[in-house]
Structure 1
Amino acid sequence: MSIVQRLSLLPVVILLLLTLGCAEQSEEQGKDKPHVRGMITDFEEERGQVLIENKEDGGVDPGPVWISLSKDAELIVGGEIVAVSLDETLVGRSAEVWINGVIAQSYPPQTKAVKMVIH
């Protein structure tokens, strides 16, 4: 391969490296931003779910969303990690939720949290 051919590949290689670097950065930023954020308005005891009135579009359409905890979910209440499940005492509090990406196409939608922070 001649030097001219090698130099012509240089911009392609640089562009590829830049693209990969930007993809990693935006993926890391997405992990920091909650997918659902809003007020807990209801609790369903039978399913162990809370209904959150999603106010911001963080990956899930705004509107109500039923949230339950996944098996290994991290639940943080008042700044402390807790080992309890969701209950009716959380109604009226604000929450931030990170999900695994799977959302049931129901109304309201339903999903499982991998991390939930209750304020």
Structure 2
Amino acid sequence: MSVVRRLFVFPFILLLTLGCAGESLEKREDKPHARGIITDFEEEKGQVLIDNTEDNGVESGPIWISLNTDAELIIEGETATAALDETLVGRSAEVWIGGYIAQSSPPQTNAVKMVIHELKAN
């Protein structure tokens, strides 16, 4: 293949690759990274423990969630100004993660967005 052809083909492949990558990132932003029932609250660290469940209902294990300083917290459809607390235990939550997940046991991470739903009936 000539140098001219390579120079022509490379940008095309690069654009195609970046276009596909951008599309998949947009789709991932709409879907929460973790969801499940809040089962515990750690006051000292301001974290909630969520029993994470995947879309197909498979348990993927608990995860500790803290809020980033600029995180969006929505409780029952209203944007909340308060921090996480023990009153959230028993509610279902959806979490969008911004960054890494610490490989502790259970794992820990920070949320950029958390949506908390009504209390589950017993």
TM normalised by structure 2 equals 0.81
Q: How far does the alpha carbon of each residue in 1:15-71 deviate from its partner, in whole angstroms, 9 at most, with x for none?
A: 3322111111111111111111111011111211110000117xxx92000111111
Other structure's SS at 1:83 match: coil
Could you tell me which residue of structure 2 aligns to residue 117 of structure 1? 115
Could you tell me which residue of structure 2 aligns to residue 84 of structure 1? 82
Matched-pair identity in %: 66
Other structure's SS at 2:17 match: helix
2:100 aligned with 1:108: no
2:12 aligned with 1:14: yes
Counterparts of 1:64 and 1:102, CA distance in 2: 16
Counterparts of 2:110 and 2:7, CA distance in 1: 45
Could you tell me which residue of structure 2 aligns to residue 48 of structure 1? 46
Other structure's SS at 2:90 match: coil
Counterparts of 2:97 and 2:11, CA distance in 1: 35
Root-mean-square deviation (Å)? 2.0
5+ residue gaps, structure 2, are: 118-122
Runs of 4+ in 1 over 4 A off after TM superposition: 4-12
- Residue 29 of structure 2 aligns to which amino acid in structure 1? K
- Residue 55 of structure 1 aligns to which amino acid in structure 2? T
How many residue pairs get aligned? The number is 113
How far is the alpha carbon of 1:8 from its aligned partner?
6.8
- Between Structure 1 and Structure 2, whose CA radius of gyration is higher? 1
Among 62, 79, 83, the residue aligned to 1:64 = 62
